[in-house]
Structure 1
Amino acid sequence: MQNKNKTVTKTKEILELFVDHESLSLQEISNISRLSKTTAHRMIGSLEEVGLLTRNSAGKYQLGLMFLQYGQLVKERLDIRQIALPIMKELRDGVNEAVNLVIREGNEAIYIEKVDTNQAVRVYTQIGRRAPLYAGACPRILLSYMPVEERLKYIEETALVPYADGTITDKNTLQKTIEQCLKLGYTVSHSELRNFSSALAAPIFNSDGLVVAGLSLAGLNSSFHEARIPELVEKTINAANRISNQLGRVK
């Protein structure tokens, strides 16, 4: 573990050289970092292989495009939370149900923000909680708007394990539910991740028209009865659209 920590520390030191230098040669990296040329070459090779460093036309090293991707993800996620929170509070106050903000990471959904209901009995969700993309309204909204080939591959390769009494475990049923979601622009779940709980979710789009998050209401099954669903749908979609517009979505 100690050797691994030393490697990580040295790697970080090499990358930090590019804060003050746009590009550096192998010899320059070795001189500034005080690493042997052999060690520097080995570490740079690994960084280049994973896209963290790249070589320019002069043969010098510079930060790779991977940093642009990571930086955009961090910025986008911070922007979403900052923009979404006041709108989430308004939505909560309007319907008196918990509101969650979820993003996708790999094959899971992660809850990155929440606003609890004022009701004494509530469905508890923790920030940082992870859930499979096929189960529950908010994770499934992310699955529904994935690129078609990627979504089909996920469904084909994923075992649909039951989390609660209402979890969808049949792949044909899941496909039909997703088709309905794409047609309506929202999805509803009942007892999919927890028994006696329901949720309703709508997509959040970025400036490129891609779904980058899901916004959901969550509460007890008894609060999500058929007569109330239209009101919840309208308010949730409206809130999600407001967040999307502030993220720069072109109408």
Structure 2
Amino acid sequence: MNQSVIKALKLLDFFLGEKKELTLSEIATKSNMPRPTVYRLLTSLEVCGFLAKTKNTEQDVRYHLGLKLLELGNIVLEQLELRTVALPWMRKLCADINEAVHLVILDGDEAVYIEKVESSHAVRLHTRVGKRSELYIGSGPKLLLAYLPKAEQETLMEKMTFTKLTPHTIGNKETLYKEIEKIRRNGYSISRSEQDEETIGVSYPILDYTHKVVAALTVSGPTTRMQEKVEEIIRKKTKETASRISRELGYIEAKVLETGKVQKI
């Protein structure tokens, strides 16, 4: 456990009171730490964007919360709203098809499963809320990668080690590029035995009011239960559910006319 990081982050708590700007001396007094130590911690927080300072005079320098906290806070609020909006629809979808339904988002260079509704079957997949996955494995992670800007895709793919979990796991960038093109062409993603043998995953994008893909709605189950006809029904219902969640998040379907104007559908 890094005590310096803990000490630095605890300094942010002093800005939760009525006074939104604090001097070095005030923070040192509140923290009961030497001024040089506090100055070093404040400088680190400032470099990271967690704090900013106003220099009125050489002697009057005051610190206040930085915009990085606003950025992070907005992300947390978006995720909370996403889960709140998606969960009732996920439950309905699970009730209709009786297979596990997941909500997957991008976090840095990984995908994270932030919500799950489990089926009533005795045989279930071993997934959990909080699970992280590489972006080349599974229908949800691949879909999130596919809808990123090209430059961001390439940056993330340069870091990938392509570890094989099964013989069906994507093993190189060339294959992954082809898969990304297929996902964007079809509008959905499928995974067949990529994480676990004899399993299938189907994912559709969830979009927000800015038309940005903010999550993947994923249904997964054993191959024995998701035969071709059943899989077709699951794709249809998953697509409908993803569209409903997107609309609740403010997404409005639109098409570009020949004139260049956008027409709502």
- Report the TM-score, using the length of structure 1 for normalisation: 0.90
Residue among 9, 17, 36 paired with 2:14: 17
Partner letter of residue 33 of structure 2?
L
Q: Deviation at 1:234?
A: 1.8
Structure-2 separation of matches of 1:247 and 1:234: 20
**4+ residue runs over 4 A deviation:** none
Query: What SS does the aligned partner of 2:22 have?
Result: coil
> Which deviates more from structure 2 when the two are superposed, residues 231-240 or residues 8-17?
8-17
Task: Tell me which residue corresponds to 2:149.
Answer: 147
Q: Which has the higher helix share?
A: 1
> Which deviates more from structure 2 when the two are superposed, residues 41-50 or residues 227-236?
227-236
The answer to whether the aligner puts 1:112 opposite 2:77 as a matched pair is: no
Structure-2 separation of matches of 1:180 and 1:9: 45
**RMSD (Å) for aligned C-alpha atoms:** 1.9
Task: Tell me which residue corresponds to 1:78.
Answer: 80
Task: Tell me which residue corresponds to 2:133.
Answer: 131
Unaligned 5+ runs, structure 2: 254-265
Structure-2 separation of matches of 1:147 and 1:225: 34
Structure-2 separation of matches of 1:36 and 1:154: 42
Query: What SS does the aligned partner of 1:167 have?
Result: coil
Q: How many residues align?
A: 248
Structure-1 separation of matches of 2:29 and 2:125: 57
Task: Tell me which residue corresponds to 1:216.
Answer: 218
Structure 1 12/159 Cα, relative in aligned 2: closer, same or farther at 3 Å?
Answer: closer
> Which deviates more from structure 2 when the two are superposed, residues 68-77 or residues 28-37?
28-37
Task: Tell me which residue corresponds to 1:198.
Answer: 200
Task: Tell me which residue corresponds to 1:42.
Answer: 40
Q: Deviation at 1:45?
A: 0.7
- Report the TM-score, using the length of structure 2 for normalisation: 0.86
Q: Deviation at 1:60?
A: 2.3
Q: Deviation at 1:118?
A: 1.4
Structure 1 198/47 Cα, relative in aligned 2: closer, same or farther at 3 Å?
Answer: same
Structure-2 separation of matches of 1:221 and 1:165: 16
Partner letter of residue 41 of structure 2?
M
Provide, for residues 105-126 of structure 1, a one-character-per-residue CA deviation record: whole Å limited to 9, x for no partner: 2221111111111122222312
User: Percent of counterpart pairs with the same letter?
Assistant: 37
Q: Deviation at 1:9?
A: 4.8
The answer to whether the aligner puts 1:173 opposite 2:175 as a matched pair is: yes
Unaligned 5+ runs, structure 1: none
Q: Deviation at 1:8?
A: 4.3
Q: Deviation at 1:41?
A: 1.4
Q: Deviation at 1:12?
A: 3.6
Provide, for residues 19-43 of structure 1, a one-character-per-residue CA deviation record: whole Å limited to 9, x for no partner: 1222222233234444333222111
